[in-house]
Amino acid sequence: MLEACPEVHDLKLAARFTTRTPANWKNIVDNYLECYHCGPAHPGFSDSVQVDRYWHTMHGNWTLQYGFAKPSEQSFKFEEGTDVAFHGFWLWPCTMLNVTPIKGMMTVIYEFPVDSETTLQNYDIYFTNEELTDEQKSLIEWYRDVFRPEDLRLVESVQKGLKSRGYRGQGRIMADSSGSGISEHGIAHFHNLLAQVFKD
């Protein structure tokens, strides 16, 4: 974490979005643990974070998603030519920390399961400075009004699909041997951790 965000101890809460999401917490974690959906579902994010230069590694009870980034007018604006990346840390069971391509910025997602079909989510945005710049305010608005709703629509739709007559209780996991960003091996890792907990 310190390598990805050396200024982590200087971060200050700039915004919090709280949603009562009509989806099971495990469904939400599944969504986070793959970037197969990033291209079609998150055009602004994937205009900056390059899914073709993106990897996902497993580390016991946490995972790391790592992708190189380029400046984008749709999402992350920064100086061209710098070696910039996105780091997404998932911590068992349901916390996500994202070091964005913007220096001195992090987002943190906390999930609180309410019942089998509802999750309370806090989506926090941190910057190192207290007085926000206009660009930072615009980025917060993009997270609130564009990026966040894109994921919420996905997980709510999947939750509805779990009740459909066509759903048979399991699906195929698309995984490749390279650990690429479009592989779903992060989901398989999460499901194995869940199976161990339920077995014990």
Q: pLDDT tens digit string along 79-116?
A: 886 779 999 999 999 999 999 999 999 999 999 999 99
- pLDDT score, position 200: 72
In this prediction, residues 130-148 reach a mean pLDDT of 96
Find out whether 26 and 194 touch, Cβ atoms under 8 Å. yes
Task: Kindly tell me if the per-residue pLDDT of 170 is higher than 80.
Answer: no
- Taking the CA atoms of residue 174, residue 28, residue 37 and residue 16 in that order, the dihedral angle to the nearest 10 degrees is -150
Could you tell me the fold of the domain covering 8-164+172-199? Naphthalene 1,2-dioxygenase Alpha Subunit; Chain A, domain 1 (3.90.380)
- pLDDT score, position 169: 72
Task: Kindly tell me if the per-residue pLDDT of 168 is higher than 80.
Answer: no
Three-state secondary structure readout of the chain:
CCCCCCCHHHCEEEEEEEEEECCCHHHHHHHHCCCCCHHHHCHHHHHHEEEEEEEEEEECCEEEEEEEECCCCCCCCCCCCCCCEEEEEEECCCEEEEECCCCCEEEEEEEEEEECCEEEEEEEEEECCCCCCHHHHHHHHHHHHHHHHHHHHHHHHHHHHCCCCCCCCCCCCCCCCCCECCCCHHHHHHHHHHHHHHHC
Identify the weakest region by mean pLDDT among 43-57, 60-74, 102-116, 172-186. Answer: 172-186
Confidence at 48, pLDDT banded by 50, 70, 90: very high
- pLDDT score, position 178: 84
Query: pTM of the full predicted structure?
Result: 0.93
Task: Kindly tell me if the per-residue pLDDT of 56 is higher than 80.
Answer: yes
Interval 177-190: pLDDT, tens: 888 888 899 999 99
- pLDDT score, position 171: 76
- pLDDT score, position 196: 94
- pLDDT score, position 198: 86
For residue 14, give the amino acid letter.
A
Mean pLDDT of the chain: 93
> What is the maximal distance between C-alpha atoms in the chain?
52
Identify the weakest region by mean pLDDT among 28-32, 51-55, 78-82, 160-164. Answer: 78-82
Domain boundaries, the chain: 8-164+172-199
